[in-house]
Structure 1
């Protein structure tokens, strides 16, 4: 894989999909390729910046707005920004796209069937849902709106991490495979 050097324009790569789809895994792999880059992980942001918000629709919209604002600041500071967040509503992602400007926003649908996400269950969240410990869980209790026109689709149940990274890089305007 090649990288995108410091002389190129900065991009916001927004990875969206169900819990367990592979967003964090792809974000970490992409972080090794984009330079300089920073990951904004939805789970990490919920522990700090967004810890005062719940999972109701209005809270999720606010989580997206806050994440978008931080991403915009980091883009301005000269970083590629990789967001790994369920961000279940098209409205959230479109608001961020409009806020940062359509050009630097690369929406990536990390596609994976719910059944496979439940089998993977890397954080044990689906087990907690089944036990009744978690309510308002995206994909179970609340809808997940698939992106209408993402720049890239990464079917993580069918493709390797490296194949998905190549799909994402191919969606970045001006990306040169030779580096």
Structure 2
């Protein structure tokens, strides 16, 4: 069944909408910023540490004078996606919209960090396919459910267990873990600083923090 937020098969962009080519190109923006733009897609359960690690990574990138922006799941739901709930259909639309926003940041030459549970493999793959090869890095913030539930920084697991929150990932809604993420963080074994250092080191190793050939 099609929801209000899912595109119907026959939906398409109107013939009256014509793509406008900008004089300033993607390559111009990349050269100006002196870095390789990429989406760092942090995914994991609620309480896994996605936002905290992503925030620490962005702070380190700022200290290195890199151009970045962090899109946080909760923050985006205060504005762009405030009309969406937490059903599977709304979660899919939530990630679709963020994927399109992240694509714009990449076009602008930025390193964009996104911290979203994004529970479905197909949705994360859809975002990957929005950009060119090498412009999407999946970062699996791998924290066991019992550790996340013990942390419960927002008290959401307690509410979910009490039946006060429906469709809560890990409780009554599925989380599909990444099969082969580019970066795998086990936050139960590493502290925030170590996780952030590892991500930045991977970006450096893969050639994203300066122009030139990627490894």
Tell me the TM-score normalised to structure 1 length.
Answer: 0.90
Match of 1:97 in 2: 128
List aligned pairs for 1:49-64, cutoff 5 A: 49-64=80-95
Match of 1:128 in 2: 159
Off by >4 Å, runs of 4+ in structure 1 = none
Match of 2:207 in 1: 174
Bigger radius of gyration: 2
Equivalenced residues, count: 172
The Cα of 1:61 is off from its aligned counterpart by 1.1
Structure 1: 5+ residue stretches without partners: 1-5
- Deviation string, structure 1 residues 24-61 (Cα, Å, up to 9, x no partner): 10011011122211110011111211111122222111
Pairwise CA RMSD: 1.6
Paired with 2:55 and 2:198, the residues of 1 have a C-alpha distance of: 15
The Cα of 1:175 is off from its aligned counterpart by 5.2
Tell me the TM-score normalised to structure 2 length.
Answer: 0.76
| Equivalent residues of 1:169, 1:175 under 8 A apart | no
The Cα of 1:80 is off from its aligned counterpart by 0.9
Determine which of 51, 68, 78 is the counterpart of 2:99.
68
Match of 1:43 in 2: 74
> Does residue 1:18 correspond to 2:49, yes or no?
no
